[in-house]
Structure 1
Amino acid sequence: MDDTDLHILRLVQSNSRLTADAISAEVNLSPPAVQKRLKKLRETGVIEREIAVLSPSKLGRDMTVIVEVNLERESRAHLDAFKKRMRDTPSVQQCYYTTGEADFLLILTVKDIKEYEAFTQTHFMDESNVSRFRTAVVMDRVKASLDVL
């Protein structure tokens, strides 16, 4: 990976709909050369996926919640089961297995406190392996990004 690849990545990271023509004008390569580089970046997994970033509030998901979760048991089977449940739950935007005070850190978007309460009932209170969870409700989304470069 060279500086041109990094430049291409910065461009598509901010706007994945840029055409090869538009990118080529920025990086001083031909459109076919840009397409070849993009293909390689996708095939090697540097570009994991290309998505649309949706507005939670415009879709009625006005509440963002950050949750620290502690498990009772941390065997591979228990960890894998919790990870799978979080992956399969649409309201969970991000889930991190962490070191420190909490075993997991979750970021969720929900419609309201009632929906969050139902989430906690299903995924924490009815789950015998969750020993504790701590919730922080986001008051203002100052920055939300998955940018790497």
Structure 2
Amino acid sequence: MDEKDIRILMAVASEGVRSPDKIHELTDIPKSTVHYRLSQLRENGILKNDLYDLDLEKAGLSLTLISEIYAEFAEGYHESVGEKLAEIEGVNQVYFTMGDTDFIVISHVPNREMVESLVEEYEAIDEIQRTSSKFVISTVKDEPNPINDFEYETLVESITDKSESDT
């Protein structure tokens, strides 16, 4: 990646644009270069898809549940338990973590009944010793595009390959 790639990614993240024409307008990078770079970013797996942001509350998924999962330690448990958690309907994100908590599971659900159902399904997994779940009362920050949380200069210094040409 180089500075042009970062400018393109920042336009996509901050403006939510998917159109090469709009990216060209925002970045002043030639359209042909934008097309080429977007293709390269997709081929390299940096851009995964062209999904649009969704308002979860308006979609009826207004409760956010954050669950800490404590599992029985065994060889490969992070993969097997993680996969079991990920397969549960309503689970959106599963993170294997360091520290006292083995997994953090995040779900966006429509009602308290589904919260109870999720916790029961977590606890039905044999390797899980206990859980601790919390409702989000209000969201202070929920940035769907983490690239928006960095200054351009920071990204250039941190993730560009200084040896790449400026194609």
When the two structures are superposed, what TM-score results if normalisation uses the length of structure 1? 0.88
Q: Aligned residue for 1:73?
A: 73
**1:88, CA displacement in angstroms?**
2.5
Q: CA deviation at 1:16?
A: 4.5
Residue 85 of structure 1 corresponds to: 84
Task: Tell me the SS of whatever aligns to 2:64.
Answer: strand
Question: Which is worse superposed, 139-148 or 5-14?
Answer: 139-148
**Residue 139 of structure 1: how far off its partner (Å):** 0.1
Secondary structure, counterpart of 1:57 in structure 2: coil
Matched, 1:141 2:142: no
RMSD between aligned residues: 1.7
AA of the residue aligned to 2:131: F
Determine helix, strand or coil for the equivalent of 2:143.
coil
Structure 2: gaps (5+ residues): 148-167
Show structure 1 runs of 5+ residues with no match: none
> In structure 1, what residue type is equivalent to 2:9?
L
Q: Between Structure 1 and Structure 2, how many residues are aligned?
A: 147
- Could you say which residue in structure 1 is the equivalent of 2:101? 102
Q: Distance in 1 between matches of 2:74 and 2:50?
A: 33
CA distance in 2, matches of 1:22, 1:109: 32
Q: Which residue of 2 aligns with 1:36?
A: 36
1:59 counterpart SS class: coil
More relative contact order, 1 or 2 (CA 8 Å, 6+ apart)? 2
Matches within 5 A, 1:104-119: 104-119=103-118
User: Which residue is 2:163 aligned to?
Assistant: none
Q: CA deviation at 1:94?
A: 1.4
What SS is found at the alignment partner of 1:118? Answer: helix
User: Would you say the 8 A contact 2:97–2:104 is kept in 1?
Assistant: yes
**Is the CA contact 2:84–2:125 (under 8 Å) kept in the aligned structure 1?**
no
Change (3 A) 1:25 1:62: closer
Instruction: Give how far 1:35 is off.
Output: 0.3
Match of residue 3 from structure 1 = 3
CA contact (8 A) 1:16 1:50 kept: no
Which stretch of the first structure deviates more once superposed, 92-101 or 21-30? 21-30
Q: Distance in 2 between matches of 1:86 and 1:14?
A: 32
SS in 2 for 1:58: coil
Q: Distance in 1 between matches of 2:62 and 2:44?
A: 36
The one-character-per-residue Cα deviations of 1:15-35 (angstroms, maximum 9, x if unpaired) are 444321121122222211100
User: Cα offset for 1:97?
Assistant: 0.4
Q: CA deviation at 1:90?
A: 4.1
